[in-house]
Copies of this chain bind each other. A is one copy, B any other.
Amino acid sequence: MSRPRPLSGFPEWLPADRIVEQAVVDTLRRTFELHGFAGVETRAVEPLEQLLAKGETDKEIYLLRRLQADADEPDPGLSGLGLHFDLTVPLARYVLENSARLAFPFRRYQIQKAWRGERPQEGRYREFTQADIDVIGDGALAFHHEVEVALVAAEAFAALPIPPVRIRVNNRKIAEGFYLGLGLADVTAVLRTVDKLDKVGPDEVERLLVDAVGAGREQARACLALAAVRGADAGVVDAVRALGVDHPLLAEGLAELAQLLDAAAEHAPGLLEADLSVARGLDYYTGTVYETHLVGHEDLGSICSGGRYDELARDGDRVYPGVGISVGVSRLVGGLVGRGLVATTRPVPSCVLVAVPDEPSRPDCDGVAAVLRRRGIPTEVAPSAAKYGRQIRHADRRGIPFVWFPAGERGGAEVKDIRTGDQVP
């Protein structure tokens, strides 16, 4: 085998960077479990019709085919299986499949890989790890869970040694109620046009709203005025009210937003901000939506997004609403590592290398290592009984900070800190 080359879009980390990813995953998991979310793993594959059920034909899906499948006798259980492109479709299926054995509201976290055949670029991968939490109700789901998932995400980010994050929120009810109150009935068309603000700017959005969606000039300007509202406190609600549009759904959305901002100001000050231009996902989410950026690294894209679905899943008359948020672990770690925002103190778990004076002493050295490990200290034994200088260089090359000499120059055991050179009994 000659030297292989990386596959574009399939990131792999060297051990030091993998430590960063593992630390992110561990912190997320610890936070999720502290909040009573149960861990779930679903299989990597779903039937194709499930993957396409939400009409997500823009997602590039990888289909599976058995190498040794007989053309005349295709495996019926495997025709039309694809790799999941997110963890929400599998969750909806898992909830339906196990509904009789789950207690609702069902709280689960899920940290797994997903796959999309996207064109690779920074922050966009073909294989990536996501960390999701969702709360799923049976029939109904109280609004306070929309507050909860944002605060859990905020707490997880606060526990990570990363640049500050900003979670931007909006609420479908505000947009929909506002447009309806304005007299614009084709809410989806307005949403999709406003979603282009970042790309084409307000003048072009106004033109599109008038020419393509059929809004009046004043209606279009009101939509832009709504999208310009942002802030972290109740002033946001006042700003929307000042636009003079009235609709029950708008009032409901504003009340929810105010509740979310209040809770965030108390539990996660500075992390959450209402931004009524956030439109991503508003066409399928039904309440709060979330987007999260690393402050100063907004160009990386959202590292944690989600929202509320009134109908995550349905089984006949039984409807399961849900709210969830998904951390883009690969995008976050790729950004942290790629931009040098974090550094590990050592690339291996080992704290100590036990030096081996000669091969017959190896069992004694193993014994020393066992004692250290019983104290919780990751330890390895030198691979060969080379000269001590070479063993120290081996520790240095591997990034192990301490070398333990079972029999030092002064008789007893000694430990050398190879970063400072100090050696003590």
Contacts and interface: CB of A to CB of B under 8 A. Distances in A.
A39 interface: yes
A45 B12 CA distance: 11
A122 interface: no
A91 to B, nearest CB: 12
A424 interface: no
B42 A67 contact: no
Interface string A156-174: 0000000000000000000
Contact of A97 (B5, B99, B142, B145): B5
Interface string A58-85: 0011111111100000010110011100
Number of copies: 2
B3 A103 contact: no
Interface in A299-340: 313-316
B1 A96 contact: yes
Contacts of A75: 117
A12 B43 contact: yes
A347 interface: yes
Nearest to A107: B380
Interface in A23-81: 33-45, 47-48, 50, 53, 60-68, 75, 77-78, 81
16 contacts: A2-B315, A2-B316, A4-B96, A4-B97, A33-B349, A34-B376, A34-B377, A35-B379, A35-B380, A44-B44, A61-B68, A63-B65, A63-B67, A67-B82, A107-B380, A263-B366
Interface of A: 1-8, 10-15, 18-19, 21-22, 33-45, 47-48, 50, 53, 60-68, 75, 77-78, 81-83, 92-94, 96-99, 101-103, 105, 107-108, 113, 115, 117, 127, 137, 142, 144-145, 263, 266-267, 313-316, 347-350, 362-363, 366, 370, 373, 376-380, 383-384, 394, 397-400
